[in-house]
Amino acid sequence: MQASGSRHVHSDTRFSLVLGGGGMKGLAHIGVLQALSERGLVPACVIGSSVGALVGAAWSAGHSPEALRDIAINLRRRDIFVVAHADMAFKRMRSPALFRREPLDALLHKLVGDLTFEQLARPLIVNTVDINSGMQVFWGAQGLENVSVADAVFASCAMPGYLPPREIRGRYFVDGATVDNLPAATARTLGVDLVVTVDVSASSVFREGIQDEGFAAVFSRATEIAMQADLELRLERWTTPPIYFMHPRVEHISPFSFDHLRELVEEGYREAAAALDHTEDWPRRGDQGVFPKRRVVVRVERERCIGCGACLVQAPAGMFVLDVQGKAVVTTPDQTWAPTDGGFIRHCPTYAISARPAPAAQVAGAVGT
pTM: 0.89
Query: Which ranges constitute the DSSP H helices of the chain?
Result: 28-38, 51-60, 65-73, 85-90, 102-112, 149-157, 215-236, 261-277, 310-314, 360-368
Tell me if residue 233 falls in helix, strand or coil: helix
The overall average pLDDT reported for the chain is: 89
Cα distance between residue 195 and residue 47, in whole Å: 10
pLDDT band at 361 (very low <50, low <70, confident <90, very high): low
**Phi, psi (degrees; rounded to nearest 5) at 76:** -120, 160
Query: Is the separation of the CB atoms in 286 and 48 below 8 Å?
Result: no
Non-local CB neighbours of 325 within 8 Å, separated by 6+ positions: 307
Residue 2: predicted pLDDT? 37
Query: Is the separation of the CB atoms in 275 and 36 below 8 Å?
Result: no
Query: Is the separation of the CB atoms in 148 and 140 below 8 Å?
Result: no
pLDDT in tens, 27-42: 999 999 999 999 999 9
**Phi, psi (degrees; rounded to nearest 5) at 145:** -95, -25
Query: Is the separation of the CB atoms in 31 and 269 below 8 Å?
Result: yes
